Amino acid sequence: MCTGRCARCLGISLLPLALACILANALLLFPNFEYRYLTEGNVSRHASVMSGLWGGGFMVRKIPKLHYNIFICFIAAKSFMSASSKTGCCGFRTEMLCSTLYSAVALTGSTLCFGICCTGLVKGPLCAYKVTFSNRSQGLEWGYPLEQFSTREVNYIYNSTSWFTVCVEPHNVVLWNVVLFCILLALSGAEALLCVVQILNGIAGCVFGPGVRNNKVGPV
């Protein structure tokens, strides 16, 4: 086992996952590639939270007199790869310790992203649906109708017919919502798994050094 080489592989794997998270969350803000729903405020709050951006990609950190959007997954990935290139026992162990700390922060972000996306998927998208008013006239109202149609036993996710009949506008927003949230769930879950592996790998690197396989016991 070579902890440095493992860290480099994990870092390379984390980069495309972070980019894909950002792209998927950005698409959630523009149903059917239309920006007017975002400007009108008719976008699901779980999409507006942008958990795929700060959780799967960015982590927002406040510093006195200055606000930084820290690309934590990219920083974590860079830390993984830089640890593998460090020479010297102390330098390598220091970098592995830093990568472990970054992994813990990235794990927190990806876990929050997973939880928010899961809630957004269960609740359904914000959309315009038909309602009957007190004067028996019909009109459109914005809300979360699929949450009302769902029961404790059966969620709208398992009733694909409701995907195309309940929401009137945006067109096919339920399918758009389900597909992108499922993608975000898969991506954030994969990121969390990679971060857990790197935490274990970082601890092993701190304890055993650059390569466990090089630590051989000589003859007595």
Question: How many whole angstroms separate alpha carbon 149 and alpha carbon 48?
Answer: 23
Average pLDDT on 103-131 reads: 87
pLDDT tops 50 at residue 74? yes
Question: How many whole angstroms separate alpha carbon 73 and alpha carbon 7?
Answer: 14
Question: Residues 183-196: pLDDT tens digits?
Answer: 989 988 888 888 88
User: Which pair of tokens denotes residue 118?
Assistant: 């899961």
Of residues 149 and 210, more confidence is placed in 149
Residues facing residue 70 across a β-bridge: 59
CA atoms within 13 A on the CB side of 2: 10
pLDDT tops 70 at residue 69? no
Average pLDDT on 31-36 reads: 89
89, burial (CB in 10 Å: exposed 0-12, middle 13-18, buried 19+):
exposed
- The band of 211, judged by pLDDT with boundaries at 50, 70 and 90, is low
Which pLDDT belongs to residue 181?
92
Which pLDDT belongs to residue 67?
28
pLDDT tops 50 at residue 125? yes
Of residues 124 and 86, more confidence is placed in 124
